[in-house]
Amino acid sequence: MAEFMLNDASVTINSVDLSSYVTSVTLSQSADSLETTAMGDSARTFIGGLTNGTIDIDFNADFAASKTEATIYPLIGTVTTVVVKPASGSVSATNPSFTCSCVVTEWDSINGSIGELATHSISWQLAAAPVKATS
């Protein structure tokens, strides 16, 4: 797959497909940089350290059974599984899935202003490195 427009991402939280409510999704990963520079070196040297990650998702709000609020609200304070794919459909080398264990630390049950669309936003810490699957 070459460049593509992200308009069909798949997001499943705790085995519930919430893709049709997602307006934005970002899975970020980073690694610490550990300096290994020693006497006699003419330049600083580094190795990779521990990894870290977050997942940020924005949703349109829905309070119906098995929708955004009903799915996520009971998970506050727990670790849950989030699966993200760039597009719906089968997992492949060009449509990998990322399975993440996430610490559910926040949830905006109600978010919006008069006359605006009600939304939810999350930013959760990954509890472990995500697992990427291509088949």
**pLDDT tens per residue, range 90-116:** 999 999 999 999 999 999 999 999 999
Q: How far apart are CA 118 and CA 83, in angstroms?
A: 24
Distance from first CA to last CA of the chain, Å, rounded? 15
The tokens describing 110, both together, are 């109600």
Per-residue model confidence (pLDDT) at position 91: 95
Q: How far apart are CA 58 and CA 111, in angstroms?
A: 11
Q: How far apart are CA 126 and CA 80, in angstroms?
A: 10
CA–CA distances in Å: residue 117 to residues 17, 81, 110, 113, 120: 21, 27, 11, 8, 10
Beta bridge partners of 14: none
C-beta of residue 81 within 8 angstroms of C-beta of residue 101: yes
**pLDDT tens per residue, range 47-96:** 999 999 999 999 999 999 999 999 999 999 999 999 999 999 999 999 99
Coil, strand or helix: which one is 7?
A: coil
The tokens describing 31, both together, are 């690694």
Among 2.40.30, 1.10.405, 2.30.30, 1.10.287, name the CATH number for the domain at 10-36+45-133.
2.40.30
Per-residue pLDDT at 2 exceeds 80: no
Q: How far apart are CA 46 and CA 33, in angstroms?
A: 6
